[in-house]
Amino acid sequence: LAKTTQPISMDSYEGQEVNITCSHNNIATNDYITWYQQFPSQGPRFIIQGYKTKVTNEVASLFIPADRKSSTLSLPRVSLSDTAVYYCLVGDKGDDKIIFGKGTRLHILP
Amino acid sequence: NAGVTQTPKFQVLKTGQSMTLQCAQDMNHEYMSWYRQDPGMGLRLIHYSVGAGITDQGEVPNGYNVSRSTTEDFPLRLLSAAPSQTSVYFCASSYSRVQETQYFGPGTRLLVL
């Protein structure tokens, strides 16, 4: 499984756009990039998944450059309720193990 | 659908005691897994199962046993609890293998004295 590197923590303010970047230099051809969100005292929940270029849903956008060695999760106009830990995962759909790193602790300030 | 359910929500054990954490899903998911999360840390994979009758070790399997006799249930057994096993335990499931959307249970908080 490709190893990922994310910032340990980030602070931002309500109403701003937040971008969290994940590095995955040894990503394999068949690997997908998936992001999860975890609120305090809850299990993680799926946010978005992509393979290349850009993916957007009602919660976030995921930007993946051509070399796929990094990806950026973009949260538009964050609110206090977006305070959470965000995990970037990289792996093949055929992988058996899902490995979470330490994630990025995002703290939204009023 | 209830999704992924876990029982108990909270448990206190004494060192050396054994117990089973229950996990069940009603989504007919083949893939199930157990994670532990220590304070301020990410999730670490304990054991996983790709289908009934098949289990395998994750990152931190020592001190834990699992079995998968049915598609729905995936219990985690602590054989002889140790204070180092104090953690929050999450069970997850997905339709098939990795990189399908994982659905997590609410977690079990375990305190080992």
pLDDT for B49-79, tens place per residue? 999 999 999 999 999 999 999 999 999 999 9
CA separation for the pair B11, A103 (Å, rounded): 27
A18: left (phi over 0), alpha (psi -120 to 50) or beta: beta
Residue B50 and residue B71: Cα distance in Å, rounded?
A: 10
- pLDDT, residue B97, reads 66
B residues 12-71 closer than 8 Å to A (CB): 33, 35, 41-45, 48, 50, 56, 58-59
pLDDT tens by residue, A25-63:
989 898 899 999 999 889 999 999 999 999 999 999 999
Percent of chain A with pLDDT over 90: 77
- CA A78 – CA A18 distance, rounded (Å): 7
pLDDT of residue B92: 94
The minimum CA-CA distance between B79 and chain A, rounded to whole Å, is 23
Q: Considering Cα of A52, then A56, then A60, then A63, what sign does the dihedral take?
A: positive
pLDDT of B48 above 70: yes
Query: Above 80 in pLDDT, residue A94?
Result: no
CA angle (A86, A64, A10) in 5-degree steps: 30
d(CA B40, CA A85): 10
Residue B20 has φ and ψ, to the nearest 5°, of -120, 125
Contact list, A91 vs chain B (CB under 8 Å)? 98-99
Q: Is the model's pLDDT at A92 over the cut of 80?
A: no
Return the pLDDT at B42. 85
* Cα–Cα distance, B72 to A80 (Å, whole number): 36
Q: Is there a contact between B42 and A98 if contact means CB atoms under 8 Å apart?
A: no
Write down the pLDDT at residue A72: 97
Tokens read off for A92: 């093949």
What pLDDT score was predicted for residue A2? 60
CA-based torsion, A48, B106, B27, A92: positive or negative = positive
Where does the pLDDT of residue A97 fall: very low under 50, low under 70, confident under 90, or very high at 90 and above?
confident
Strand partners, B4: B25
Cβ atoms A79, A67 nearer than 8 A? no
Instruction: Give the pLDDT score at A41.
Output: 86
Residue B23 tokens read as 């996990």
Cβ distance of A98 and B45 shorter than 8 Å: yes
Per-residue confidence (pLDDT) for residue A57, from 0 to 100: 94
